[in-house]
């Protein structure tokens, strides 16, 4: 594997390593050796160090003064802490959306929600791809909401949590396949709550969805931890 | 100025540049030139690039693909967006605190709150130093709460916002001097609300404090923007 386009080399390396962490090809707790990565990818050690800082920001690695970079943990505790702040930030995004939107924005959101519903309903034979498609569609909705809410700090903070959340989805992927129909129901409820313009109702729908995802992930993790 | 201790060189550079941004020695919108910083501080360009990534994570610079690093903006809009998410995260911290604490933790928090009160009350002749002391004391309380709440994601996210919040305090520093007594009152209310174990009351106290700080900063910024 070779990388080009020098202006975003560290970002490309970060995405490459990040993807390996998300699919747990690089397991929690394992060390990432700068020199080895640099030699494997034929890039400079400096670019790898930059990539590791980007991955630290995205909560996928932790960097320790002398030990270097380690893949961040994935335990019942860490998943609970992650979902606590993620659901809280999504609720904030939902409240800001209801505060901010004008009637003209409603059409755009409705269109996105229908796109997601179409994606979720079109999938009759769940496979690894279909789950990823639904996850991507969910993020598309979120990006659309970012444009309406216009808070770069909130957007950046949520985007930085996205890879760690994606990693938890991969934990529950098998389970997730079976509950794609359920996910479609949650999306529909989110859409209805958003349309109602009722901030409390939207917040409840976000929390219900987030807690459902959290429980799916925790169930698998607890099985793994007790195995 | 020379830097040593190679294991945290980029962190030291980040803190040095960050401090210049916080006190507005480096003004919003100005470019930070890697090569110039590297030569001024006698460090490698790679270390400067790492430092800039750290500063981007702390919301003090923005890095653009070809333009390089630019000091992040400080406007009415950006301050509003920043305080929106910061107050929201502080409220989350408050709620988690009330959920989590045990009677034994109460003493530690009480002690910290009394330390802050002592700091705020001991200052009879406000100067630039006294404001910084109060700000530091406030962060000490927050750090103590972090240890009780034990959510590294929330801690990291709040810590990453701290430099940008500090920069806004520096905007309002002159104003802040005059309201040190008021700040002491807010701290006392926070303490009382925390002690009551009433999450809603604590959340209200946090919001009142945060909104007070926001308004102080916005008043000065609006004067500057209309000047």
In chain B, CATH 1.20.120.530 sits at 76-226
Nearest residue to A30 via CA among A3, A69, A64, A65? A69
DSSP character string of A97-108: HHHH--HHHHHH
Mutate to test the interface with A, among B6, B50, B52, B53 (most CBs of A within 10 A): B53
- A74, A64, A25, A186: CA torsion to nearest 10: 40
Contact B92 A88 (CB under 8 A): yes
Residues of B in contact with A151 (CB under 8 A): 81, 84-85
Nearest Cα residue in chain B from A80: B151
Contacts of A13 by beta carbon, 8 Å cutoff, 6+ apart: A3, A37, A41, A43, A47, A48, A50, A51
More confident residue, A146 or A141: A146
What is the distance of C-alpha B196 from the center of its chain?
26
Question: What is the rounded CA–CA span in Å between residue A70 and residue B136?
Answer: 31
- pLDDT score at B141: 82
Nearest residue to B52 via CA among B18, B19, B7, B82? B18
In chain B, CATH 1.10.10.10 sits at 9-71
- How does residue A184 score in pLDDT terms, banded at 50, 70 and 90? confident
Q: What percent of chain B has pLDDT over 70?
A: 84
- How does residue A4 score in pLDDT terms, banded at 50, 70 and 90? very low
Which stretches of chain A sit within 8 Å of chain B by CB? 7-8, 46, 49-50, 53-54, 56-57, 59, 65-66, 78, 81-82, 84-85, 88-89, 92, 96, 150-154, 156-157, 161
pLDDT at A123 over 60: no
Mean pLDDT of chain A: 85
Question: What is the rounded CA–CA span in Å between residue B50 and residue B12?
Answer: 11
- pLDDT score at B196: 82
Nearest residue to B55 via CA among B98, B16, B101, B103? B16
Nearest Cα residue in chain B from A9: B65
Whole-complex ipTM: 0.89
Q: What percent of chain B has pLDDT over 90?
A: 53
Mutate to test the interface with B, among A8, A53, A77 (most CBs of B within 10 A): A53
Nearest residue to A210 via CA among A170, A150, A177, A169? A169
B6: DSSP letter: G
pLDDT at B151 over 80: yes
- Report how many Cβ contacts below 8 Å link chain A to chain B: 69
pLDDT at B146 over 70: yes
A95-104, A171-180, B139-148, B185-194: least confident range = A171-180
For domain B76-226, the CATH superfamily is GntR ligand-binding domain-like (1.20.120.530)
Q: How far is B29 from chain A (nearest CA, A)?
A: 16
A100-114, A130-144, A145-159, B175-189: least confident range = A100-114
- How does residue B4 score in pLDDT terms, banded at 50, 70 and 90? very low
Question: What is the rounded CA–CA span in Å between residue B139 and residue B135?
Answer: 6
Question: What is the rounded CA–CA span in Å between residue A89 and residue A158?
Answer: 7
Nearest residue to B32 via CA among B8, B15, B49? B49
pLDDT at B165 over 90: yes
Model confidence, pTM: 0.90
Select the CATH number that applies to the domain covering A9-71 from these four: 1.25.50.20, 1.10.10.10, 3.40.50.300, 1.10.3730.10.
Answer: 1.10.10.10
Residues of B in contact with A82 (CB under 8 A): 153
Contact B50 A50 (CB under 8 A): yes
Question: What is the rounded CA–CA span in Å between residue A196 and residue A203?
Answer: 12
Which stretches of chain B sit within 8 Å of chain A by CB? 7-8, 46, 49-50, 53-54, 57, 59, 65-66, 78, 81-82, 84-85, 88-89, 92, 96, 150-154, 156-157, 161
What is the distance of C-alpha A98 from the center of its chain?
23
- pLDDT score at A5: 46
- pLDDT score at A107: 73
Please answer whether residues A184 and A84 qualify as being in contact, where contact means their C-beta atoms are separated by less than 8 angstroms. Answer: no
């Amino acid at each position: 594997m070779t990388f080009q386009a020098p202006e975003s080399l560290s970002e490309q390396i970060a995405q490459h390593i990040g993807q390996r962490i998300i699919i747990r090809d690089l397991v929690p707790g394992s060390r990432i050796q700068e020199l080895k990565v640099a030699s494997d990818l034929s890039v400079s050690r400096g670019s790898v160090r930059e990539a590791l800082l980007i991955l630290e920001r995205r909560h996928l690695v932790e960097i320790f003064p002398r030990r270097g970079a380690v893949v961040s943990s994935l335990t019942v505790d860490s998943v609970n802490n992650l979902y606590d702040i993620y659901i809280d930030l999504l609720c904030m995004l939902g409240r800001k959306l209801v505060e901010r939107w004008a009637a003209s924005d409603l059409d755009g959101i409705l269109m996105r929600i229908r796109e997601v519903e179409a994606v979720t309903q079109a999938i009759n034979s769940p496979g690894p791809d279909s789950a990823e498609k639904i996850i991507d569609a969910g993020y598309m909705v979120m990006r659309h909401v970012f444009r309406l809410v216009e808070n770069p700090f909130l957007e950046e903070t949520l985007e930085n949590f996205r890879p760690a959340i994606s990693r938890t989805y991969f934990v529950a992927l098998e389970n997730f396949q079976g509950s794609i129909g359920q996910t479609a129901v949650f999306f529909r409820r989110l859409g209805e709550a958003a349309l109602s313009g009722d901030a409390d109702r939207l917040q409840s729908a976000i929390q219900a969805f987030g807690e459902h995802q959290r429980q799916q992930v925790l169930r698998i993790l607890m099985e793994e931890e007790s195995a």
